Amino acid sequence: MQISVQQDIFKLAQTFTISRGSRTQAEVLTVKADHKGFVGWGECVPYARYGETLESVTAQIEGFSGRWCDLEEELPAGAARNALDCTLWDHAAKMAGKRVWDLLELPAPQPKITAYTLSLDTPEKMETQARRNAHRPLLKIKLGTPDDMVRLEAVRRGAPDAPIIVDANEGWTAEVYSDLAPHLLHLGVKMVEQPLPAGDDELLAEIARPLPVCADESCHDRASLPSLKGKYDMVNIKLDKTGGLTEALALKDAAIVEGYQIMVGCMVGSSLAMAPATILAQGVAFTDLDGPLLLAEDREQSLIFDDKGVHPPAAALWG
């Protein structure tokens, strides 16, 4: 099997800011697997928070032996393994003349309502963003600063009826979360994602959690589950964290057995990156696959987003 990787850049529709910084473009790696006349495709988004760079992930991909059965042994959970795993699933589906969900013996995925993320900004600009997107069925608010209450109140003014979930991106302390939680409930927030830094979240087991708390940076793959016990109510599964669809599906099953609710999330990437996650998103509490909605440009074949949500990919895109 011949595997190649290239860097692609997609401009964002507007500057996207979280508590760790801002970006104006999505930098992704596109992987191609060519074997026996069939070509499979996959995408990953290297993430600096996890020590990944475009160069380091490219080197991991280029060093892969090409044997799918050895993928988990050769590479750790992360962006490189994700791109390869999803590429190989796409290739397998094309060789078999079937969809990936058929190979997995799963029902055909249905459209899923997805969150739409509002970038961190001044309260005035976040209110404007909220008003512009108040029609969307679920808003996700990026927070994680000392002025979060003012921002959240501004968003609620802009979108008085929209369901809201909040992502603090590790930006709070236990004291800040405890102080904010009653106000979050009052403003109709449905869930808060990663309020405390991963590795420094033990206090979540000791303080009241009046609304569901979701592990993002604290949850990567099945090996993460033991450390989450008593601290979290939900896990955010992202393909770039798990190392692909294979582990993501296994993590989903294991987390459900342990009593966690499931959120399926994404990095900021194109429709190719989101496509495998539409399979994973079936039957979960929250879906956050809005990456393509944040772009000014996308793949030639792109996912469909409409009032039913994000639709599963056409075969021409993936799977």
Please give the positions annotated as active site. 142, 238
Question: Dihedrals φ, ψ of 160, to 5°?
Answer: -65, -20
Give CA torsion, residues 193, 264, 20, 158, to 10 deg: -70
Specify whether the CB–CB gap between 239 and 258 falls below 8 A. Answer: no
Per-residue CA distances from 247 to 44, 75, 164, 282 (Å): 15, 12, 29, 16
Rounded CA-CA distance 301/23 in Å is 24
Concatenate the DSSP letters of all residues of 20-60 into one string: TEEEEEEEEEEEEEEETTEEEEEEE---GGGT--HHHHHHH
**Residue 74 CA to its chain's centroid (Å):** 24
Strand 305-306 relative to strand 309-310: parallel, antiparallel, unpaired?
Answer: antiparallel
Rounded CA-CA distance 90/84 in Å is 10
